[in-house]
Amino acid sequence: MLTSVERRQLLSDPVEQYRRMREIRELEERIVGLFSEGLVHGTTHTCQGQEALAVGLAASLNPDDAVSCTYRGHGIALALGLTPDSVLGEIMGRTTGCIGGMGGSMHLSDPDVGLMPTFAIVGAGIPIGAGAALAFQTRGESRVSVGVFGDGATNIGAFHEGLNLAAIWNLPVVFVCDNNVYAEYSRIDRTTRVTDISTRAAGYGMPAESIDGMEMDAVLGAMARAVDRARGGGGPTLIEARTYRYAGHSRADLAEYRPAGELDAWLDRDPVKVRREQLISMGLLSAEGASALDGAVAAEIDASVERTRSAPHPPVAAMFENVWTGRNAQGSE
Query: Is the pLDDT assigned to residue 327 strictly greater than 70?
Result: no
The answer to the question of residue 314 being in a domain is no
Is 326 inside any structural domain? no
Residue ranges making up the domain that contains 192: 4-309
| 207 close to 229: Cβ distance less than 8 angstroms | yes
Taking only the tens place, the pLDDT of each residue in 206-234 is 999 999 999 999 999 999 999 999 999 99
pLDDT band at 324 (very low <50, low <70, confident <90, very high): confident
pTM above 0.85, yes or no: yes
- pLDDT tens per residue across span 67-112: 999 999 999 999 999 999 999 999 999 999 999 999 999 999 999 9
Q: Mean pLDDT across the stretch 306-313?
A: 97
The C-alpha atoms of residue 131 and residue 134 are separated, in whole angstroms, by 5
Tell me if 93 sits within 8 A of 60, measured CB to CB.
Answer: no
What does the pLDDT average to over 185-196? Answer: 92
Predicted pLDDT of residue 170:
98
Residue 325 falls within a domain, yes or no? no
pLDDT value at 295 more than 80: yes
The number of domains in the chain is 1
At residue 320, does pLDDT exceed 90?
no
Write out pLDDT tens, residues 130-142: 999 999 999 999 9
How high is the pLDDT of residue 333?
47
Does residue 332 carry a pLDDT above 80? no
Domain assignment of residue 319, yes or no: no
pLDDT of 329 higher than 70: no
- Segment 232-253, tens digit of pLDDT: 999 999 999 999 999 999 988 8
User: In this structure, is residue 55 part of a structural domain?
Assistant: yes
Asked whether residue 333 is domain-assigned, the answer is: no
Whether 52 is covered by a domain: the verdict is: yes
Give burial (CB, 10 Å; 0-12/13-18/19+) of 11: buried
Residue 222: CATH number of its domain? 3.40.50.970
pLDDT value of position 80: 97
Domain for residue 34, yes or no? yes
